[in-house]
Structure 1
Amino acid sequence: MLSRWAWFTRYRDRKLEWLLAFYTLWFGLWVSLPLHSMAGPSFEDALALAPEWLWGIVYTLVGVIHLISLHVNGRGWWTPFARLFALFLNSQVFLALTIGIAQQNPWGTGVATYIFIALGFCGAAFYNAALDCGHEIKIWRTRCR
């Protein structure tokens, strides 16, 4: 019988990444609400790049992709690469929002927060995913000899 936590593949080893993926999904759903969460002047240039509803959809999709990549990770040779790609997407959407906000208020808390998510949290998780990819490459090389 499967545990009710079976969906959270390797959660103990990847708590940061699971929480990052859930945060991205939650953030996307929050921005998708018709409450104008990006109505402040700091978001003017970000909203020039894309309307709020599109930001919400992008974040929601990236969060779902990241969650699925974490769930399937370890079930095949390709799964660490899917996880690495999902982390790359996640970092890029936060980096895009950082750039959009920085044009209006480069010293605002939004810039400090989103750049740290993009480079700090995603960077640390990206490093671990890259190590897993390296492990898979070593396995391929051993089998090809």
Structure 2
Amino acid sequence: MAMMFLSNWLTQFGKACQFPIACKYLSQDAVYLGGDSELTQTLRCHGAVIVRLNYGGDHYVLLTEQEGEQVSMFDPYFRKRPFIQEDIALIDSEPFKRNRIVTIERLNAKQKDGLYALGPKEGREAILLFNQNTRLTEEKTIEYFI
């Protein structure tokens, strides 16, 4: 309920205050990365995604970018020690962009106790966030060939 409320509140705040934010709430089967998923499309269009996943229990992170099979995220948990898992990287040189890089495979994992796993589909949820001024759309990206 809190994620749904936050999504709706931010969207309505944007409309009422002419603040360029738009949000969309997703749950269950719609929350995955890869192919033509809404999460992947959001990251490609310069948006960000808040997801609930596992980090020793329910935890929320901000996905900021996808490059190939790697996803950049900002995790609010401070961590100094590197991860022992090879598919999770700790980044300390880009505090305004990301502080972790995790593979799509790890994020899409369905097990409830996997580190940074989105977990079982029935418990997944996400909020897509867009800055309306910088959002890439078809109108802004269509190329004409002569």
Structure with higher helix content: 1
Which has the higher Rg, Structure 1 or Structure 2? 1
TM-score (norm 1): 0.29
Of Structure 1 and Structure 2, which has the larger fraction of its residues in strand? Answer: 2
Higher relative contact order structure (alpha carbons within 8 Å, sequence separation ≥ 6)? 2
